[in-house]
Structure 1
């Protein structure tokens, strides 16, 4: 075994002095691969020569006298133990430096209220900003962000995304299930799956654990918006709506919910600028429609032919709210449209609960009864409902698709509702006995 601990501080000082005097570098050995590289500048650099996998390597251990002889020997012995274990001291040092850098960066981010780099939350927020917000509506993106912040980030947000496994994700989703929000749990799982797929694309992780949870959550019990489709019961509903004793604008909203086939959000956001009562047409802007973000930005508006009954209701309502922006302003401020719960609350006051009839249910009522009782072609009804069904040229939202047929249909539907309201004989189902 080669001798070690050969140097003394006196010998080192003498070597440094000689190097300066002679203006020549030299190396002096302490044994065990430890060498002091003496420079003409009067500085000394500790080097450790070692062999790993048959190759000679060199490791810097600091400068003398900042790193003393005793300290250099300690570093040498530690490095030699790593070599004996088959580890490369240089690689170990680099990893330690990288880990220190990561910790400091994490501390800086934490002080700023930001998630660590490479964490699930960091990747998720990047996905939200660069992908999700670009593809979907602002409201959709906001709902996704809130779900992740409330039900994912507190449990897996700070975890490195590459280290998250299916059981960890499932544990977070189980918390959502436990409060009975089964559909929300599925939506969060789907959002997390998109985050993991984005993480794979940018090299932050290598797999998507959400894909392993396909059958791990409780199934969503599919339910439809409650809707009345029996002609006699619809007639009673219409009479009850006509006798509504609340706000006049709310009563008009109830009636137009049945007449216009609009989604509740489209109805309550209706503006007077969208209406042309002379031509009996309502033009709903594309950005208000339930569409993909690109279709909201570039798609055509949705045209709604107005039956004479709808025009009459809107003409009367114009005297009440026509001076403002919204056809149905909020009760507290004309600067906002009425609440999404206004029509629902009115129905409840009339004795119709969520299991009987909903604001959205008026569309289902019309979809069913126009087809069954008036014999209108399904494609005409779907066009008026603004469902994204492509025409023969592949256009999902053709502003003039079946427009003449829809005008006739909307008037026929309004006339039929008048007969039901009056309790007249019900029109039989096409091709069947009533």
Structure 2
């Protein structure tokens, strides 16, 4: 039964504290000394929490319910009301964009670890150096646009669009927690080049593909990025997965790369059979990074706790003069196109691309049935690429039986 004003007023103290329940998590806590406190019980990120709403009768029942409803709205928006209260007490010291962006990320417990890392990397690399120390309430659309244009200028249009989205999410979190009044990214509609959705430039003709492979081998950049460049055509993984590949995921004796479901776009664990050429590249880089977490460890981190950016491969391809012709993600289109032309079964190719199968029964069948065939397909594909790279006559390679 819901509380009433007379019930609150007439509640008498007892030997031990006790609660009088209202609705939707609100209750009145009555202490042995006669003090009465409104409390709101809620769950956030799987943990039970309690928010103090005030002392009765200074705070009446209606006011307590209004505060409870306000807290419930914050919960619906994925915000911890107790964190908001803490922010209110600490004042402006934590009102910079960087501080609020970090709180925003912490308030998203259901994010996958790979997505959390990606958002954090975008902030740390492209936003915090220019906007991190700015008070959120003073942030202007002009400042945000200047920051995003730095990303566009290096050719990373998709990343600029995603970063604008992340900045807007952090600002809206700041609005919800009372430290900003409006989302200035809304003023930037149309100010950035529009990324082409659903299409990545890709070379799908054998002869220019052979030239690209030769250019990759001759790439003058760092050894770590060059090795990632050389591996990508062989395995045609998503660039983010390759950049974040960990040595613990590889079994070189079994010739497999096993990627956990929380790293995959479709949340489905994935196995990549490794050709002899792919294993040779991994063994070549192993003396350099094999004692670290990541295969493609970044020299910006310490002891390999950071890896190269998901953009590193694409940036290298652009530096080689393939802007608008090919991308790191484009190797997936290249492989899909040519493997289909060579007669490999669509289910096998789609499974190797880690595209989701909507029919769960069929998906389980595909996982069970196609690994052995995919091993043969990946080795045939690697041999075919070697032939193109070495300038051999371009002929259709035979499907491994």
Q: Is this a same-fold pair by TM over 0.5? A: yes
How far, CA to CA, are the matches of 2:360 and 2:74 in structure 1? 44
Verify the 8 A CA contact 2:234 2:278 in the aligned structure 1.
yes
Verify the 8 A CA contact 1:389 1:396 in the aligned structure 2.
no
Select which of 78, 96, 110 maps to 1:125. 78
Alpha-carbon distance, 1:258 to partner: 0.3
1:423 matched residue in structure 2: 391
Alpha-carbon distance, 1:314 to partner: 1.4
Where in structure 2 are there 5+ consecutive unaligned residues?
1-59, 82-103, 120-164
Select which of 326, 346, 358 maps to 2:327. 358
Closer/same/farther in 2, CA of residues 396 and 127 from structure 1, 3 Å limit: farther
Select which of 230, 236, 242 maps to 2:205. 230
**Matches of residues 40-189 of structure 1 in structure 2 within 5 Å?**
117=70, 123-126=76-79, 133=108, 137-138=112-113, 140=115, 147-150=168-171, 154=175, 175-180=187-192
Verify the 8 A CA contact 1:231 1:426 in the aligned structure 2.
yes
Where in structure 1 are there 5+ consecutive unaligned residues?
1-96, 107-115, 159-168, 183-219, 296-300
| TM value normalised by structure 2 | 0.56
**Matches of residues 218-257 of structure 1 in structure 2 within 5 Å?**
222-257=197-232
Alpha-carbon distance, 1:140 to partner: 4.9
Select which of 336, 339, 342 maps to 2:309. 339
1:268 matched residue in structure 2: 243
Verify the 8 A CA contact 1:244 1:350 in the aligned structure 2.
yes
Alpha-carbon distance, 1:245 to partner: 2.0
Is 2:275 aligned against 1:307? yes
**Larger mean Cα displacement after TM superposition, 250-259 or 277-286:** 277-286
Closer/same/farther in 2, CA of residues 173 and 343 from structure 1, 3 Å limit: closer
Report the secondary structure of 1:258's partner residue.
Answer: helix
How far, CA to CA, are the matches of 1:256 and 1:405 in structure 2? 20
- Structure with max Cα Rg: 1
Verify the 8 A CA contact 1:235 1:423 in the aligned structure 2.
yes
Aligned-residue CA RMSD (Å): 4.0
Aligned residues: 268
| TM value normalised by structure 1 | 0.52
Closer/same/farther in 2, CA of residues 315 and 149 from structure 1, 3 Å limit: closer
